[in-house]
Structure 1
């Protein structure tokens, strides 16, 4: 009988918090799959972060029962914290992780790590947004996922398609060099790591995956979305002011913002903050006498006109009255995009929610509308080549 010589080691981390229901079956299934099909050496590490149920006890039992399975315990909660702990101490060639519910088809695991073991790529991610991916999930999670990744592409210039799929891997030497600069310890950890990798010119490989949503998922979608928005603001600020280079391979280069964007983004952000505050105040005032959709439309229209005028003058440096009406008309295209996003966010809310929940929904949707507005204003309405041609 021929035996496979396994000369490389891949560490698979399964971060868990209060997962006593799914842990045993998932880890047993993962271990059986890798032992039977994976052509490289592997180690499964169950990373329990501050579980309060029987998760840690089950993890220790699995480590004692199954070969190539171990368990580590952290006293503090956080998926990013668990991954940082295991990845930073790993002696494997490639480190990876997957969600405990195994929502992603395991047949995608070898295509995920193979380019890393060959040296072709530095990091690899599963993507649910590729044309070849087969995904089963509800409309709310679909809307939030696509909106978040659109925000990443437009605001941060990200080229990867799916930041939050729980199916990622990286060369250990690369991720261990990047980890000191990653600040987040929870759900934004993935996004921050990928943005940092792109800023250093590292190669990110994407694998289309088949993915089935876990109906028992206990992720607080709203809280996670708000935490991600705060994380994006922090990373954007750090990118604008510059950040120290990390000791990654010398073949990579520092990524730069497109010409002109370094001074346009802060000014647009200031105008955007003022516009958002005015929008929220007007929405709250109108909401006392009108339905949510009507209050949203009126508040967005008024602030969109003021926003276009302010960005025309302060962000893109266009003075004088020439073209002002055309700019306002074209700015209404961005208004319609914003109206669709905010109306869609309100539509997704269940009936009878509180006014506070409505406000949070329109804040998230308005952030996406702001991104669309900046892109339209920069590349179309106030494009200097277009003005020069006229």
Structure 2
């Protein structure tokens, strides 16, 4: 019996190793080391609703020409987008009244099939294309893909991506800005050109609300939540309690570098983004923000967490075996 047990354990271990080796070989053979970013001719331009002219988006590789770019990924968000944009625009417009502050909002319609583009176009007509632009993707890329293309089309010294649901109060941007000002010892509102070239990321966090969330969740969903956090800690990012909050502020250079290497275009892209930042030693601050759950989420609680857990493991594995690589930072 003892011999049989050892034999079974040996065979099982050998089988598991063989499967893992086969998976690694498969991942290396089908993966490209660096992301291939495909963007159609239409997706490289935005429409000026007043003239009907198609105008090419700028590139993040160029110099910044304004203080802040706000990137809003939107997939079928015609209902939730309106209150979010109203709050966002009111905050930003108030800031322009007594200063030289310049901003832009880029709504990235991620292959929406509802009235998302129509809703965004009304704001574009009112504010003009210097302040509001629409990047209309021809097919659904996923949230990460939409954010990446929005970031790579931005003009700001600082780049913020914010979810279209408005779950985070936009005024909390001040908290993220303050943390980066303290970290960089530079205020981008006063020195946008200098700050744009620095490396730093500030992430909004809901970690302080975790106890309240646990009280409202079932035991099963709570276990899944803690399991996902364990996966994040084990395979992606340590030191950041909430990687998934859709409210992150990046310097222009940090955004350029990180999104250049980003492979994941779906829900787990936040974790890979911060994994890349940690690998490149880009400073990250985590700031508590006000957050309210808004109805209409595209996430399916249990299934989405399982998918993201799988993606986190595959992200880690691909980087470990060299199937994916991170573009090295060029030193000036």
Which bracket does the TM-score occupy, shorter chain normalised? 0.5 to 0.7
- Match among 179, 197, 203 for residue 125 of structure 1: 203
Q: Give the aligned partner of residue 247 of structure 1.
A: 328
- Match among 204, 224, 232 for residue 152 of structure 1: 232
SS at match of 1:48: strand
Change (3 A) 1:152 1:165: same
Mapping for residues 36-185 of structure 1, pairs under 5 Å: 36-37=94-95, 40-66=101-127, 68-77=131-140, 78-116=142-180, 120=184, 122-130=200-208, 138-139=216-217, 144-156=224-236, 158-185=238-265
TM-score by length of 2: 0.66
Distance (whole Å) between structure 2 residues aligned to residue 235 and residue 119 of structure 1 = 29
Q: What's the CA shift for 1:145?
A: 4.1
Q: Give the aligned partner of residue 15 of structure 1.
A: 73
- Match among 86, 90, 115 for residue 28 of structure 1: 86
Q: What's the CA shift for 1:12?
A: 0.8
SS at match of 1:215: coil
Deviations 1:240-296 (A, max 9, x none): 235645233659xxxxxxxxxxxxxxxxxxxxxxxxxxxxxxxxxxxxxxxxxxxxx
Distance (whole Å) between structure 2 residues aligned to residue 131 and residue 203 of structure 1 = 24
Distance (whole Å) between structure 1 residues aligned to residue 288 and residue 210 of structure 2 = 6
Change (3 A) 1:108 1:156: same
Q: Which has the higher contact order (CA 8 A, sep 6+)?
A: 2
Change (3 A) 1:37 1:146: farther
Q: What's the CA shift for 1:189?
A: 1.1
Q: Give the aligned partner of residue 45 of structure 2.
A: none
Question: In 2, are the aligned partners of 1:22 and 1:100 still within 8 Å (CA)?
Answer: yes
Mapping for residues 214-363 of structure 1, pairs under 5 Å: 214-242=294-322, 244-248=325-329, 250=331
1:204 paired with 2:284, answer: yes
Distance (whole Å) between structure 1 residues aligned to residue 214 and residue 68 of structure 2 = 28
Change (3 A) 1:200 1:104: same
Deviations 1:25-75 (A, max 9, x none): 321221012221477432111111111111111111111113522211001
Question: In 2, are the aligned partners of 1:136 and 1:213 still within 8 Å (CA)?
Answer: no
Unaligned runs of 5+ in 1: 1-6, 252-390
SS at match of 2:152: helix
Distance (whole Å) between structure 2 residues aligned to residue 27 and residue 224 of structure 1 = 27
Question: In 1, are the aligned partners of 2:237 and 2:278 still within 8 Å (CA)?
Answer: no
Distance (whole Å) between structure 1 residues aligned to residue 215 and residue 133 of structure 2 = 32
Distance (whole Å) between structure 2 residues aligned to residue 250 and residue 137 of structure 1 = 48
Distance (whole Å) between structure 2 residues aligned to residue 108 and residue 169 of structure 1 = 11
Change (3 A) 1:33 1:136: farther
Question: In 2, are the aligned partners of 1:122 and 1:170 still within 8 Å (CA)?
Answer: yes
Larger Rg: 1
Aligned residues: 245
Q: What's the CA shift for 1:131?
A: 7.3
Question: Structure 1 stretch 210-219 or stretch 115-124: which is displaced more?
Answer: 115-124
When the two chains are superposed, the root-mean-square deviation of aligned CA atoms in Å is 2.9
Tell me which stretches of 4 or more aligned residues in structure 1 moved more than 6 Å. 131-137
TM-score by length of 1: 0.57
Q: What's the CA shift for 1:239?
A: 3.4
Q: Give the aligned partner of residue 31 of structure 2.
A: none
Q: Which one has a larger percent helix, Structure 1 or Structure 2?
A: 1
Deviations 1:280-332 (A, max 9, x none): xxxxxxxxxxxxxxxxxxxxxxxxxxxxxxxxxxxxxxxxxxxxxxxxxxxxx
Deviations 1:96-124 (A, max 9, x none): 11111211122311221344467626111
